[in-house]
């Protein structure tokens, strides 16, 4: 399972002109689900996202997490994160979870995350979305959790 997290001043996702999620300062997480991922990987990745120290402390060092700051969290599904891009000029998606498994694990991640942050939003799984953000820094990190076993 993959999370591309971006520290943002604000972020918003819209589907067909309707805003489905918006936050102020916090993290935008683009979430990719791979074949063989499970709820255990989703839970481990969520812990990493919430605890990852990407916000400045009083000395200006990245030493504070979303748990520490109380910032917002916007979670958007993005299957293209699991693309195979090492060869050729067209991405392959054989590493990706099936749409049903992807949606199930995305929903699991969202359900576990929602009660843990004050400001929370999501995209809409499988929809064509427009995501707008102001990346603060810019600060962007790629987090992965491999399937157990």
Choosing from 79, 109, 122, 125, which is the catalytic residue? Answer: 79
Please give the Cα distance from 49 to 52 (Å, whole number).
5
Q: Is 80 a catalytic residue?
A: yes
36 sits in which H/E element: none
Quote the CA–CA distance of 15 and 12 in Å, as a whole number.
10
Task: Check 6, 78, 109, 122 and give the catalytic one.
Answer: 78
Of the residues 19, 80, 85, 130, only one is catalytic, namely 80
Residues ≥6 apart with Cβ < 8 Å to 123: 13, 15, 20, 21, 74, 75, 76, 77, 129, 131
Find the Cα–Cα–Cα–Cα dihedral 36, 37, 38, 41, rounded to 10°.
Answer: 140
Determine whether 78 is an active site residue: yes
Backbone angles phi, psi at 89, to 5 degrees: -120, 15
Using alpha carbons, select from 33, 7, 34 the residue that is nearest to residue 109: 33
Active-site residue list: 78-80
């Amino acid at each position: 399972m993959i999370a591309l997290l971006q520290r943002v001043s604000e972020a918003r996702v819209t589907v067909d002109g309707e805003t489905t999620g918006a936050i102020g300062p916090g993290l935008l997480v683009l979430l990719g689900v791979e074949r063989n991922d499970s709820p255990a990987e989703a839970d481990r990745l969520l812990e990493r996202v919430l605890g990852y120290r990407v916000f400045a402390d009083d000395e200006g060092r990245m030493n504070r997490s979303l748990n520490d700051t109380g910032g917002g969290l916007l979670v958007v599904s993005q299957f293209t994160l699991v693309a195979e891009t090492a060869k050729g000029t067209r991405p392959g998606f054989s590493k990706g979870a099936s749409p049903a498994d992807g949606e199930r694990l995305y929903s699991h991640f969202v359900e576990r995350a929602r009660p843990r942050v004050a400001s929370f939003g999501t995209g809409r799984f499988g929809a064509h979305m427009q995501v707008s953000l102001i990346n603060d820094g810019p600060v962007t990190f790629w987090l992965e959790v491999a399937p157990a076993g």
